[in-house]
Amino acid sequence: MPFIPHTETEIRSMLDTIGVNELEAIFDEIPDDLRCGQLEGVPEGLTEYEVTRLLHQRAAEDQALSCFAGAGAYDHHIPAAVWEITTRGEFYSAYTPYQAEASQGTLQLIYEYQSMMASLTGMDISNASLYDGASALAEAVLMAVRANRKSKSRKLLVAGTVNPTYRKVTNVIVHNQNISLDEVPFDNASGTTVTAALEAHAGEDYAALVIQQPNFFGSLEAVDEMTDWAHANGMLVVAVANPMTLAALKAPGQWGEKGADIACGEGQPLGVPMSSGGPYYGFMCCKQPLARQMPGRIVGRTVDLDGNPGFALTLQAREQHIRRSKATSNICTNQGLCVTASTIYMSLLGPEGLARVASASHKNMNALLAAIKDIDGVSVAHAGPSFHEALITLSKPAAVVIEQMANLGFLAGVSVSEDYPQYENALLVCTTETKNDADIAAYATALNTVLNGEAA
C-alpha cells in the first residue's frame, strides 16, 4: 500500500483499541447509499520506477525550445544552489509558520525577502507573497479602492500598456464587487502612454492609476510625470514592475514627487523556473500608511521571553483566519516556496549580479533588434528604448510564424494581435541573459527562413 506503514498485526491491535471489528466500521456514520464504487476511472497504481519511465516519456515529448518569449514569464538562469536548498525537506515540507518557535527558518527567510523586495521597489513594507503577478494586480486594485477613502467611484484608470492578461484576471476578480477599470489609450508609434491621454480624465474620480514599467511592450513609460499627474488628481498610483529590472530602473517608490503608493508584480524572474506558468508568486509592497490595508501574510521581527530577537507573523488582524468576512483578502496559502527560491536567488546575485542580469538581458534585446530589423517582412513597432522585450510586426500571421519557428527549435515570441488589433501579425519578443550572439544570429536566420523561404 503506497505510503501506508501499517502491518496486519498493527491494524488488528488499533481496531481493538478503537473497539471495532473491521476498518469499514469506522465509516458507520456515513449513510450507506452514499458509499462510492470502484473508481474505475482511476488507473491502477504504478511503482516509482514505472512512474519515472512514464514521466520521462512525457517530458521527452516536449522538446525544450530556445526561448525568445516573455510576456510575464522569463527564461533566466537559476543558480544550482537555489532549488537545491529550496527543496530541502525542512523548507519544502513545512507548513505556514503559525507556530513561530518551530518555524524560525521560514520566518526569518520571509523577513529577509520582505527587506529585499521593499528595497528593490523603494517601498516601506512588503508582504510574504500573493499567488502570481496577475492576481497580485487584482489584490492591489482592491487595496487601492479600500485605501483611497476620498474616491467614491469604485473605478481605476489602467494604462493600455499594462499586461492585457493581468487586466483580464483583475477584472474577473474585482467585478463582482462592482469595481471596474477604465483603459487609458497609448501612442501606437512609441508604445507608451502620452500625457494627453491622461489629461482627458483630469478632475475625474478614480481610486488609482495603474502603470506598468517596463510596460507590456518592453517600452519605458514616463513614470515620473504619470505619477505626479495621478497624485495631483487625487488618485493613488499602483506600479506593476518586473523586479529583475529594478536593479537598473528607478524604484516605484521614487517615481515623481511622492512615489507610487503600491508596487506589485510577478516574482518569477527571480529564480523561479518557467514551468508552464506556475508556481510563481505575486509580490506586493506599499508605503507605510497603507500597511493595514495590505493583503497576505507579513512577518515582523520581535523579541522572545529572554529578550532575544525572533520572528513571527504579524498584523494578522487583516487576515481571513481572524477577520473572516471583514478580511483584506481571502488569501491563506500563498507561494512561500517560490519566495524561498527568490530570496536565495537574490542573495546569490546581490546588487551587482542582478544589475548584470538586467544589463545583459537588455543588451541582448538591442542585439536581437539589430539582427532582425532588416529582414524582409519584419518591422520594429516602436521607436524609443526597449528594456528586454519589444514588439515586432511580421509579413505573416504570428501564429504561423510561431509554429514554424517551433519546428526549427525556437519559441519565437508571443502573438499579441488579439489583444492589440491595431498591430497586424504582432509578435512580442524577449531576450534574457541566457542568450548569446550565436543564439541571436540563429534566431535571425530561422526567422528569415520562415518569412522568406529557403533562400535566406
Partner 1 sequence: MVDAVKMEKVIFEHSVSGRRATVQAPAVAADFSDLPSALLREDKPLLPETSELQVVRHYTRLSQKNFSIDTQFYPLGSCTMKYNPRACNTLAMLPNFLARHPLAPASHSQGFLACMHDLQEILQEVTGMKGVSLTPMAGAQGEFAGVAMIMAYHRQRGDMERNEIIVPDAAHGTNPATAVMCGCVVKEIPTGPDGDVDVEALKAVVGPNTAGIMLTNPSTVGVFERKIEEISKIVHEAGGLLYYDGANLNAILGKVRPGDMGFDVIHMNLHKTFSTPHGGGGPGSGAVGVSERLVPFMPMPHVLKEGDRYRYVTEADVPDSIGRLSGWAGNAGVNLRAYIYARLLGRDGMHRVAEFAALNANYLQARLSAAGFDLAYPDRRASHEFIVTLKRQAKDIGLTATDIAKRLLDKCFHAPTIYFPLLLTSCLLIETTENEAKEDLDAFVEAMIEILREAEADIEMIKGAPYTQPVRRLDDVKAARELDVVWPN
Q: Which residue has the cell 513545512?
A: 94
Nearest distance from C-beta of residue 310 to ligand PLP, angstroms: 24
By C-beta, is 51 or 204 nearer to partner 1? Answer: 51
Nearest distance from C-beta of residue 455 to partner 1, angstroms: 26
325 is a contact residue toward ligand PLP (CB under 6 A)? no
Residues 206-245 that bind ligand PLP (CB under 6 A): none
Give which of ligand PLP, partner 1, none residue 203 binds (C-beta under 5 to 8 Å, depending on kind).
Answer: none
By C-beta, is 97 or 191 nearer to partner 1? Answer: 97
Residues 6+ apart with CB under 8 A from 31: none
By C-beta, is 172 or 332 nearer to ligand PLP? Answer: 332
By C-beta, is 115 or 204 nearer to partner 1? Answer: 115
Cell reading at 324? 473572516
What phi and psi values does residue 278 have, to the nearest 5 degrees?
Answer: 175, 165
Nearest distance from C-beta of residue 184 to partner 1, angstroms: 19
**Bridge partners, 282 (sequence order):** 130, 266
Give which of partner 1, ligand PLP, none residue 408 binds (C-beta under 5 to 8 Å, depending on kind).
Answer: none
By C-beta, is 232 or 332 nearer to ligand PLP? Answer: 332
Question: Quick one: which of 45, 178, 333, 453 contacts ligand PLP (CB under 6 A)?
Answer: 333
Between CA 147 and CA 295 the distance in angstroms is: 12
Residue 433: name the closest of 375, 367, 381 by CA.
367
By C-beta, is 63 or 333 nearer to ligand PLP? Answer: 333
Give which of partner 1, ligand PLP, none residue 315 binds (C-beta under 5 to 8 Å, depending on kind).
Answer: partner 1
Question: Quick one: which of 18, 64, 332, 383 contacts ligand PLP (CB under 6 A)?
Answer: 332
Between CA 185 and CA 250 the distance in angstroms is: 24
Nearest distance from C-beta of residue 320 to ligand PLP, angstroms: 8
Nearest distance from C-beta of residue 371 to partner 1, angstroms: 17
Nearest distance from C-beta of residue 426 to partner 1, angstroms: 14
Q: Which residue has the cell 539589430?
A: 370
Give which of partner 1, ligand PLP, none residue 124 binds (C-beta under 5 to 8 Å, depending on kind).
Answer: partner 1
Give which of ligand PLP, partner 1, none residue 441 binds (C-beta under 5 to 8 Å, depending on kind).
Answer: none
Give which of ligand PLP, partner 1, none residue 414 binds (C-beta under 5 to 8 Å, depending on kind).
Answer: partner 1
By C-beta, is 96 or 119 nearer to ligand PLP? Answer: 96
Between CA 238 and CA 282 the distance in angstroms is: 14
Between CA 430 and CA 390 the distance in angstroms is: 7
Residue 241: name the closest of 93, 97, 150, 133 by CA.
133
Nearest distance from C-beta of residue 131 to ligand PLP, angstroms: 10
Residues 6+ apart with CB under 8 A from 1: none
436-451 as b/e: b if 16+ CB within 10 A: eeebbebbbebbbbbb
Nearest distance from C-beta of residue 203 to partner 1, angstroms: 27
114-130 as b/e: b if 16+ CB within 10 A: bebbbbbbbbebbbbbb
How large is the greatest C-alpha to C-alpha distance in the chain, in angstroms?
Answer: 83
322 is a contact residue toward ligand PLP (CB under 6 A)? no
Peptide bond into 214 cis (omega under 30): yes
Q: Are strands 125-126 and 282-286 parallel, antiparallel or unpaired?
A: antiparallel
By C-beta, is 201 or 315 nearer to partner 1? Answer: 315
57 is a contact residue toward ligand PLP (CB under 6 A)? no
Instruction: Please count the residues of this chain forming the interface with ligand PLP, following the rule CB under 6 A.
Output: 2
Nearest distance from C-beta of residue 80 to partner 1, angstroms: 9
CA 34: distance to chain centroid?
Answer: 42
- Give the C-alpha distances (Å, rounded to integers) separating 333 from 235, 296, 402: 31, 9, 36
Residues in contact with ligand PLP by the rule CB under 6 A: 332-333
